[in-house]
Amino acid sequence: MPKIIIIGAGFGGLGMAIELQRNGFREFTILEKAADLGGVWRENTYPGAACDVPSPLYSFAHEPKPRWRQRYSTREDICEYMHGVADRHGLREHIVFGAEVTEAEFDEMTGQWTVHTAGGVARTADVLISAVGQLSRPALPPIPGIERFAGESFHSAQWDHKVELAGKRVACIGTGASAIQYIPEIQPKAAHLTVFQRTAAWVLPKFDTDYKPVHQRVLVSIPGMPVAERLTWWLLAEFVALGLVEFPGIVRGVSRIAEHHLEEQVSDPVLRAKLTPDYPIGCKRGLFSNDYYPAMCEPNVTLETTAISEIVPEGIRTADGVLHEADVIIYGTGFKGTEFLWPMKIRGRGARNLDDAWDGGAHAYLGITVPEFPNLFLVYGPNTNLGVGSIIYMIESQTHYIRRALQLLGEHPRTYLEVRPDPEHSYNNALQHRLARTPWNFCTSWYRTPSGRITNNWPGTTRSYRRRTRDLHLPDYTFTQIRR
Is 35 a residue whose pLDDT tops 80?
A: yes
Q: Which of 113-117, 204-208, 226-230 has the lowest mean pLDDT?
A: 226-230
pLDDT tier, 240 (very low <50, low <70, confident <90, very high otherwise) = confident
- Show me where the domains of the chain are located: 4-137+336-481, 146-202+245-331
Query: How far is 431 from 300, CA to CA, in rounded Å?
Result: 47
Q: What is the pLDDT of residues 341-399, one digit of tens each?
A: 778 999 999 999 999 999 888 999 999 999 999 999 999 999 999 988 999 999 999 99
Q: Is the pLDDT of residue 60 over 80?
A: yes
Find the length of the chain.
484
In this structure, whether the domain defined by 146-202+245-331 belongs to CATH 3.40.50.150 is answered with no
Has residue 338 got a pLDDT over 70?
A: no
The pLDDT value given to residue 330: 97
Q: What pLDDT is stored for residue 284 in this prediction?
A: 83
Element (H, E) at 19: helix 11-22
Confidence of residue 137 (pLDDT cuts 50, 70, 90): confident
Query: Cβ contacts of residue 137 below 8 Å, gap of 6+?
Result: 335, 336, 339, 342
- The CA distance from 127 to 112, in Å, is 7
Q: What is the pLDDT of residue 337?
A: 59
pLDDT of residue 357: 93
Label each residue of 101-133 as H, E or C: EEEEEEECCCCEEEEEECCCCEEEECEEEECCC
221, pLDDT greater than 80: no
Geometric angle at alpha carbon 359, from 353 and 361, rounded to 5°:
120
Average pLDDT over residues 129-152: 89
> What pLDDT does residue 47 have?
96
Integer Cα distance of 4 and 409 in angstroms: 12
**Contact status, residue 481 vs residue 110, Cβ threshold 8 Å:** no
Residue 248 has pLDDT above 80, yes or no: no
b/e map of 174-193 (b: 16 or more CB within 10 Å)? Answer: bbbbbbbbbbbebbeebebb
> 4-137+336-481, which class in CATH?
alpha beta
User: By the 8 A CB rule, do 7 and 13 touch?
Assistant: yes
Confidence class of residue 281 from pLDDT cuts 50, 70 and 90? confident
Cβ contact 396:249 at 8 Å: no
> How far is C-alpha 213 from the geometric centre of its chain's CA atoms?
31
| pLDDT (mean) for 160-181 | 96
Mean pLDDT value across residues 281-310: 94
Are 332 and 171 in contact by the 8 Å Cβ rule? The answer is no
Residue 219 identity = L
pLDDT of residue 180: 96
Q: Are 277 and 201 in contact (CB under 8 A)?
A: yes
Mean pLDDT across the chain: 92
Are the CB atoms for 386 and 5 separated by under 8 Å?
A: no
Q: Nearest Cα to 173, choosing from 191, 189, 153, 190? A: 153
pLDDT of residue 172: 98
- Is residue 224 within 8 A of residue 232, CB to CB? The reply is no
| Local confidence band at 201 (pLDDT 50, 70, 90 cut-offs) | very high
Residue 220 has pLDDT above 90, yes or no: no
Tell me how far CA of residue 167 lies from CA of 164, 172, 186, 187, 328, in angstroms: 8, 15, 11, 10, 11
Is the confidence at residue 266, as pLDDT, over 70?
yes
Residue 390 buriedness (CB in 10 A; 0-12 / 13-18 / 19+): buried
The mean per-residue pLDDT over the stretch 284-291 comes to 91
Q: Matching CATH topology for 4-137+336-481 and 146-202+245-331?
A: yes
Does the structure show a pLDDT above 80 at 154? yes
Report in angstroms the alpha-carbon separations of 328 from 10, 77, 156, 307, 380. 31, 29, 12, 19, 35
Using the predicted structure, report yes or no on whether residue 448 has a pLDDT greater than 90: no
For the cut 90, the answer to whether the pLDDT of residue 252 exceeds it is: no
Q: Between residues 19 and 66, which one has the greater pLDDT?
A: 19
DSSP calls for 26-83: --EEEEESSSSS-THHHH---TT-B-SS-TTTSS-TTS--TT-SBSS-BHHHHHHHHH
**What single DSSP character describes residue 309?**
E
pLDDT of residue 9: 97
